[in-house]
Amino acid sequence: KVLNRYLPKANRTSTIKTSKLVALTFDDGPDSTLTPRLLKTLKKYHAHATFFEVGQSVSRYPKISRAVLAGGNEIGNHSWNHPNFNSIGTAQTVSQVTRTNRAIYQATGTLPQYVRPPYGNITAAEGRAIEQPIIRWSVDSRDWAYLNSSKDINEVMHDTHGGDIILMHDIHAQSVAAAPTIIKRLQAKGYKLVTVSQLLNSQALPGLQYFGAHDYRTVGK
Ligand SMILES: [Zn+2]
């Protein structure tokens, strides 16, 4: 990918309106039963999402990672085994990210563009060392705390506006059960469910962390 600023005018990606775009993201998978269930839901509603996958699960379930991409969804890097980057140091963080990039490439033939650090934690030095854009979120469904589909649905519907990145997890049955209603209700409000790359118009840069379509900050800030 080449950023617009380096391209002749005629070849630039036109700017997109994000007021009716929303990016659903699902962390901590792939899960052997729940992720395929979620993929069916996405397909049924012609929606796409981004899956921030854990490397050790990708190497266990490479077929599921391939199915994620085959459905037109995107895969991002969520570390090898979910440590807190703030407490393991730069060398270990780079190793976690590199090992997971490799696992995703071996499973799918595609390198992930983005990293989402576990718990959203990453230091400025680690961000510089990783050299991939960091994707955070603007809406936390708190699904990991609720483990309750109705509460997940209410939280997401209460908080979501155009340009948002919504955080959910495809390792909890309640979250996957909430997905059809969340998708239907967002679509009823006129939102299109797109991947992170589509929301950011493929213009994300390393060294920055993105919270939504128009909210990005230096890593570590
Ligand atoms: Zn996580």
- Structural domains of the chain in order of their starting residue, each with its CATH number: 17-218 (3.20.20.370)
Q: Which of 8-22, 58-72, 107-121, 201-215 has the lowest mean pLDDT?
A: 8-22
The 10s digit of each residue's pLDDT in 124-148 is 999 999 999 999 999 999 999 999 9
Closest Cα partner for 143 from 115, 166, 165? 166
pLDDT computed for residue 48 by the predictor: 98
Ligand 1 center–CA 86 separation, angstroms: 14
pLDDT computed for residue 5 by the predictor: 82
158: annotated active-site residue: no
Query: CA-CA distances (angstroms) from residue 9 to 5, 14, 78, 199?
Result: 9, 10, 35, 21
pLDDT computed for residue 18 by the predictor: 92
Ligand 1 center–CA 77 separation, angstroms: 10
Residue the block writes with tokens 């919504």: 166
Question: Mean pLDDT across the chain, nearest whole number?
Answer: 96
Q: Which of 48, 78, 169, 172 is catalytic?
A: 169
Please provide the size of the chain in residues: 221
In angstroms, rounded to a whole number, what is the distance separating the alpha carbons of residues 51 and 190?
23
Ligand 1 center–CA 133 separation, angstroms: 17
pLDDT at 11 over 90: no
pLDDT at 13 over 80: no
pLDDT at 1 over 70: no
Ligand 1 center–CA 13 separation, angstroms: 32
pLDDT computed for residue 221 by the predictor: 64
143: annotated active-site residue: no
